[in-house]
Amino acid sequence: MIEQRRMLIAGNWKMNLSLDEAVELAASMMEYSSATAKLDIALFPPAVYIERISSLLEHSPIIVGAQNIHPEEAGAFTGEISSKMVLTSGGQMVILGHSERRHIFAETDEFICAKVKRAILSELTPVLCIGETIDQRDAGETNRVLKRQLEGSLDGITIEFPGELVLAYEPVWAIGTGRVATPEQAQEAHAFIREWMDGRFGRAGRDCRILYGGSVKPDNAAGILTQADIDGALVGGASLKSLSFGGIIIEALKILER
């Protein structure tokens, strides 16, 4: 079982990198393996690279995960991948409900919830992403949106241990924009999410890890990661270079070693 609220630095490579580039990046991340004495590191390569990257990292504590799964176990779903495919390729986690899936591919909370259920049932740890758009924030609707996404994406779900589920607060306006939430904005949202999790799941929910995602870079990581309710980062752009992703890991280590 994962130690409670152990910091997690996760890299979402999205639809980027050739196979050679992906292998090179994963290999260079092995340099940071010793950091896993203090925190967890996870890489989310494109699905077609999972098996290769998992094999490469077989003897490394770095976790590999998928960026998506389909809710069904198997069947006529051309182009989709199942939880079993991820697991049997060496994946241990899966990002679900990323804002790009919600907004570009019109995924609903109901559909995301079915995926979360499948992931938990398969013992694949979901990293459930939630977050508001800039219009919703400006209209003062942030907490209402987060609550709606939490209720919808976790409807009917039960968890026994905090390690069964990871959340990621990713304000849509901060993803890939270079506009990071202030540490105070992020902490406020994380505190709201943790309180909701406590109310919904009790102790197991309160102790789930909540990552912040949205333009995290080595130079802004410390401000974010020192917040009381922030347990790590889900990193997009900066995870595509070992120097910047490694730089975020180093910032996290400095905090943990204080």
Contact residues toward ligand PEP (CB under 6 A) are: 12, 170, 175-176, 213-216, 234-238
CB of 35 to ligand PEP, least distance (A): 19
**Residue 217 CB contacts under 8 Å (≥ 6 apart), including other chains:** 180, 238, 244, 247, 248
Neighbouring residues of 63: CB distance < 8 A, sequence distance ≥ 6: 40, 41, 42, 43, 92, 93
Query: Which residue, among 52, 57, 86, 90, has the nearest Cα to 70 in the 3D structure?
Result: 86
> Encoding tokens for residue 73?
């176990």
3 is catalytic: no
Q: By C-beta, is 100 or 109 nearer to ligand PEP?
A: 100
- Residue of minimal CB distance from ligand PEP? 236
Q: Do the bridges between strand 125-130 and strand 93-96 make them parallel or antiparallel, or are there none, so unpaired?
A: parallel
In the complex with ligand PEP, the residue whose CB is nearer, 56 or 172, is 172
Both tokens assigned to 200: 């919904």
Nearest to 4 by CA among 161, 112, 226: 161
Nearer to ligand PEP, 176 or 199 (CB): 176
Cβ of residue 166: shortest distance to ligand PEP, in angstroms? Answer: 13
Of 9 and 150, which has the nearer Cβ to ligand PEP?
Answer: 9
Which of the following is catalytic: 70, 98, 107, 251? 98
Q: Is 170 a catalytic residue?
A: yes
Q: What are residue 227's phi and psi, to 5 degrees?
A: -70, 145
Amino acid occupying residue 138: D
Query: In the bound complex, what is the minimum distance in angstroms from residue 138's beta carbon to ligand PEP?
Result: 19
Nearer residue to ligand PEP within complex by CB, 162 or 232: 232
The distance of closest approach from Cβ of residue 228 to ligand PEP in the complex, given in angstroms and rounded to an integer, is 21
Eight-state DSSP code of residue 179: -
The catalytically annotated residue of 100, 107, 132, 170 is 170
Closest separation in Å from C-beta 55 to ligand PEP: 25
- d(CA 126, CA 139) in angstroms, rounded, equals 30
User: Taking phi first (over 0 means left), then psi (-120 to 50 degrees means alpha), and beta for anything else, what does residue 192 get?
Assistant: alpha
Residues annotated as catalytic are 98, 170
